[in-house]
A = this chain, B = another copy of it.
């Protein structure tokens, strides 16, 4: 971001739990000028190791990885290694998630069903110190000042920061457990679990365990 315009190659960490997808992305990146993949990770633990061990410039992060509780992970990494820019790569196009990712410190947000060229555009934008949102989700953030959004933003919820406990309980609800089962597993009262769940539904604007489950699955939490 200072004097190294485009001499030194940009280094990447690839984080995606699908080896086949990683392989494909590596191929894609290797066809670009001055780019190289220096590390890969298939789960959150491996990723944490790699981000501290390597000195990569960019992290291409699949939000659907096991052991990666989504958004929270972004802020964790930003705190740990501030110089590492994060590009989120996911199938999730919910406005809620996009906003949360950006506010957590992601520099880019790409969707898996987007135009492959967007990867290059995102890298370029971020190298210049900017941020990049995939065209498919750009409407989600309201454009801040732009000419005029074509679609109204559906739900105006704040980025919905979940507490640690809430995330924990969301993950268990997502596995189809009842309040009682969750309570047993956590060693607390079923009534407390219910309260947490109520708070979750309030924050996320959902209205049933099934919707919570769907939300969690789409968010990439493990479901079995």
User: A112 is contacted by which of B21, B28, B31, B210 (Cβ under 8 Å)?
Assistant: B21
Point out the residues of chain B lying under 8 angstroms from A89, CB to CB. Answer: 20
Q: How far is the CB of A142 from chain B (nearest CB, A)?
A: 20
Question: Residue of B at shortest CB range from A64?
Answer: B91
Q: How far is the CA of A25 from the CA of B218 in the complex (A)?
A: 23
User: A91 is contacted by which of B18, B175, B218 (Cβ under 8 Å)?
Assistant: B18
Q: Are A214 and B175 in contact (CB under 8 A)?
A: yes
A211 within 8 A of B: yes
Question: Residue of B at shortest CB range from A116?
Answer: B23
A67 within 8 A of B: no
A223 within 8 A of B: yes
Point out the residues of chain B lying under 8 angstroms from A110, CB to CB. Answer: 20
Q: How far is the CA of A108 from the CA of B222 in the complex (A)?
A: 25
Point out the residues of chain B lying under 8 angstroms from A173, CB to CB. Answer: 210
Point out the residues of chain B lying under 8 angstroms from A115, CB to CB. Answer: 19
Point out the residues of chain B lying under 8 angstroms from A206, CB to CB. Answer: 176
Q: Are B208 and A178 in contact (CB under 8 A)?
A: yes
Q: How far is the CB of A219 from chain B (nearest CB, A)?
A: 11
- The listed residue with most B CB atoms (<10 A of its CB), out of A19, A42, A89, A214, is A214
Q: Which of A165-217 contact B (CB under 8 A)?
A: 173-178, 206-214, 217
Q: How far is the CA of A175 from the CA of B210 in the complex (A)?
A: 7
Q: How far is the CA of A190 from the CA of B200 in the complex (A)?
A: 28
User: A209 is contacted by which of B31, B119, B209, B218 (Cβ under 8 Å)?
Assistant: B209
Question: Can you report 6 A-B residue pairs in the complex whose CB atoms are below 8 A from each other?
Answer: A19-B113, A19-B116, A20-B116, A42-B113, A176-B206, A176-B211
